[in-house]
Chain A
Amino acid sequence: MTLASDTPHSLASMTMVQAIRSALDVMLERDPNVVLYGQDVGYFGGVFRCTDGLQKKYGKQRVFDAPISESGIVGTAIGMGAYGLRPVIEIQFADYFYPAMDQIVSELSRLRYRSAGDFTAPVTIRMPAGGGIYGGQTHSQSPEAIFVHVAGLRTVMPSNPYDAKGLLIASIESDDPVIFIEPKRLYNGPFDGYHDRPIQSWRDHEDAHVPEGYFNLELDQAAIAKAGNDLTVLAYGTMVHVAKAAAELSGVDAEVIDLRSLWPVDLDTITDSVKKTGRCVVVHEATRTGGYGAELTALVQEHCFYSLEAPILRVTGWDTPYPHAQEWDYFPVPARVAAAYKTVMEGL
């Protein structure tokens, strides 16, 4: 983990929402080419408050409201990027990026390649994703596999306030287009999947002590969220917290890797861990078939085959649309994840 900072580390306790807002504030201040827009992003400050106060501070030329048109938001951002700006745009929910698919896949991801570097568009697309909030079918999806499959995109997902700020700053600074997926279940506090326990707050959480000024975290770098020796868990977003809770529940000494950058991915950290533990479980909220877990499973199989003591298991959302009333039947709760740990440890 690299910490590049130009100010003394004056730490503040921040929620993920505050950390994201702080990253945007820092970059608006630091780079006059950074502009922010999206639905309800301007005057109102975003439906999740991530851009609260920024229009007032930087003016309407830098932070503004957009029409309800995902394709329009992404398409115009590509034009701004080609001009020389560094747009940071918001899709209100990841579930609503689909109308912008053509702009993302056919234009944004391949502009550098098809023009041999003649044009580039360093756009960052922020989108709240993930379930666990009774969001139903169109406020809960985890579409990361769709982006991972597109050559030319970077896909990033933080799991705590500190990473959220450092990774968002790095994403905005990246000259590649970045899909920055924010687990909205983690916006105000960590969530380990125990929905029947009191809501936790980021206050006093060690990952919520965030430098107030500028710092960034390198993309393509995973983090060990919990060290362990028995098996390797590959997780990201909300599932990092669930995976840790499942380790406690199962008593298995799991090593939980928070991938942070989904693609390009930090393969070295993954293979080092699996070669040490000899076992691997992949956990994500997204549906299973064709999900990102399939790619992770294939990579581990290719690179760690001779170290593996058991088949690689995946604990994921079911291959169904995300239901409303059956929220906790769908969401991979600690009990389901712990059962997989035990299966991998004890044999199928």
Chain B
Amino acid sequence: MPLTLHVPEPPARPGQPSDFSYLRLQPAGQALKPPIDANPQDLRDFAYGLIRVLDDNGEAKGEWGADMTLAQKHRALHLMMLTRAFDTRMFHAQRQKKISFYIQATGEEAIATCQALALNDDDMCFPSYRQHSVLLARDVPLLDLMCQLYSNACDPLKGRQLPALYSRNDKGYYSLSGNLATRFLIGVGWAMASAIKGDTRIASSWIGDGATAEGDFQTALTFAHVYKAPVLLNVVNNQWAISTFQTIAGGENTTFAARGMGTGIASLRVDGNDALACYAVSKWAADRARTNQGPTLIEWVTYRAGPHSSSDDPSKYRPDNEWQSFPLGDPIVRLKNHLITLGEWSEEQHDEAQKKLMEQVITAQKTAEQAGGSSVNAAAHSHSIFEDVYAVMPQHLQRQRQQFEEGL
């Protein structure tokens, strides 16, 4: 019998009905909560199961359901809605050619938002490009983000970076870049440094399902395990890496949490659209890291609701509106329903809040545009091209700046 090369395909392509039976779901409340000093070898079932708190009626179930206070739930809902309003408006701004590029986090808002709420503000995050909720949770003004998106005169990164590749050291948000997976590993080094200095701060590294195929993913796991680094290793499995389904990254008949198990790291698989689960598991992992119990790998199961970026058209490779049938739903709707179930929120309040958040975003956008909004605004910072390559500008760059000024 001749051999054949196996090339995985997603369960559905454009025009076909969605099929999410591969997801290995588990009912809310079923997963137990292990002690934070649990031996990774005893957590095998967590790497293949699914920690969920909110059931289909919006009720919190099980041991993971008690961690979040009511105030935190309201805060989480606010931040998730703010993230979505921001994304909606900025994606639109890109379509209007006001900014050159944009990346949304639609459908994934619960994960970064709730982890930010579970961390201390001085814990350092090493995000990929869909975790800007962390910045909002740490009260970075919308205007600051927009100035970066517009590459305008107020852009703190002086027009050097693509939109959405923020950097905020003061807010525990490491400088982003377009190359994948490197920062997942760099976060481990930061955590090692914190341990070397006897600090109490921890790190939070982020990677998508697709980028787990990069070498630095496995390298990060090895170093985190070897040195018991105080780091949360977050794998956001949104099922898609641009056009490639997560099976092309190695997700077929396994989980990404299982990768952590093999490396000796406590690894949990979690409903990424369940704000209560996102918070509780992040808190568990943070407590574990902060008490020298070592790293935790968390696979967040979610769905990339929007296009990969403003340059992508998902209707070319996956069914239209597939998100509507994703079994874990919309994280904002699920938290909203939970608060309504508790009698602490209403559809009217929700609609009102949504309207106000959009107004807030629009106001910030107008201010940003006053500081010079255009698709690519070179003039605002052209003379700073040569700065910050080195701590002090060396001779050859001084000569090149001179040539630039002379038009050579």
Complex Cα distance, B385 from A114, in Å, reads 11
Are A116's CB and B388's CB within 8 A? yes
Interface residues of A in 153-184 (CB under 8 A from B): 154, 174-176
Are A116's CB and B167's CB within 8 A? yes
Bits for A64-92, please: 1 = Cβ < 8 Å to B, else 0: 00010101100111111011110000000
Complex Cα distance, B222 from A72, in Å, reads 9
Given the interface pairs A72-B222, A102-B216, A119-B175, the reply to whether A77 lies near B189 with Cβ below 8 Å is yes
Complex Cα distance, B389 from A117, in Å, reads 9
A207 within 8 Å of B by Cβ?
Answer: no
Measured between beta carbons, the chain A residues less than 8 angstroms from B160 are 113-114, 116
A298 within 8 Å of B by Cβ?
Answer: no
Bits for B147-163, please: 1 = Cβ < 8 Å to A, else 0: 00000000011101100
Chain B interface residue bracket vs A:
35 or more
Measured between beta carbons, the chain B residues less than 8 angstroms from A175 are 391
Q: How far is the CB of B284 from chain A (nearest CB, A)?
A: 23
Are B177's CB and A116's CB within 8 A? no
Given the interface pairs A80-B192, A84-B193, the reply to whether A152 lies near B390 with Cβ below 8 Å is yes
Are A71's CB and B219's CB within 8 A? yes
Q: How far is the CB of B194 from chain A (nearest CB, A)?
A: 6
Are B394's CB and A220's CB within 8 A? yes
A239 within 8 Å of B by Cβ?
Answer: no
Complex Cα distance, B158 from A175, in Å, reads 21
Measured between beta carbons, the chain B residues less than 8 angstroms from A82 are 124, 174, 186, 189-190
B6 within 8 Å of A by Cβ?
Answer: no
Complex Cα distance, B400 from A267, in Å, reads 14
B61 within 8 Å of A by Cβ?
Answer: no
B1 within 8 Å of A by Cβ?
Answer: no
Q: How far is the CB of B111 from chain A (nearest CB, A)?
A: 22
B272 within 8 Å of A by Cβ?
Answer: no
Interface residues of B in 177-198 (CB under 8 A from A): 177, 179, 182-183, 185-194, 196-197
Are B394's CB and A76's CB within 8 A? no
Are A112's CB and B158's CB within 8 A? no
Chain A interface residue bracket vs B:
35 or more
Given the interface pairs A113-B160, A220-B394, the reply to whether A106 lies near B179 with Cβ below 8 Å is yes
A107 within 8 Å of B by Cβ?
Answer: yes
Complex Cα distance, B194 from A130, in Å, reads 36
Are A102's CB and B175's CB within 8 A? no
A264 within 8 Å of B by Cβ?
Answer: yes
Measured between beta carbons, the chain A residues less than 8 angstroms from B223 are 67, 69, 72, 75-76
Measured between beta carbons, the chain A residues less than 8 angstroms from B395 are 220, 264, 267
Q: How far is the CB of A27 from chain B (nearest CB, A)?
A: 16
Closest B residue to A123 using CB positions = B189
B8 within 8 Å of A by Cβ?
Answer: no
Are A76's CB and B389's CB within 8 A? no
Partner pick for B215 among A71, A113, A114, A220, CB 8 A cutoff: A71
B residues lining the A interface (CB < 8 Å): 124, 126, 156-158, 160-161, 165, 167-169, 174-175, 177, 179, 182-183, 185-194, 196-197, 203, 215-216, 219-220, 222-223, 226, 388-391, 394-396
A residues lining the B interface (CB < 8 Å): 35, 61-62, 67, 69, 71-72, 75-80, 82-85, 99, 102-103, 106-107, 110-120, 151-152, 154, 174-176, 220, 264-265, 267
Q: Pick the 10 closest A-B CB pairs, nearest first.
A: A79-B189, A76-B189, A83-B193, A79-B190, A75-B185, A115-B175, A264-B394, A115-B167, A80-B193, A175-B391
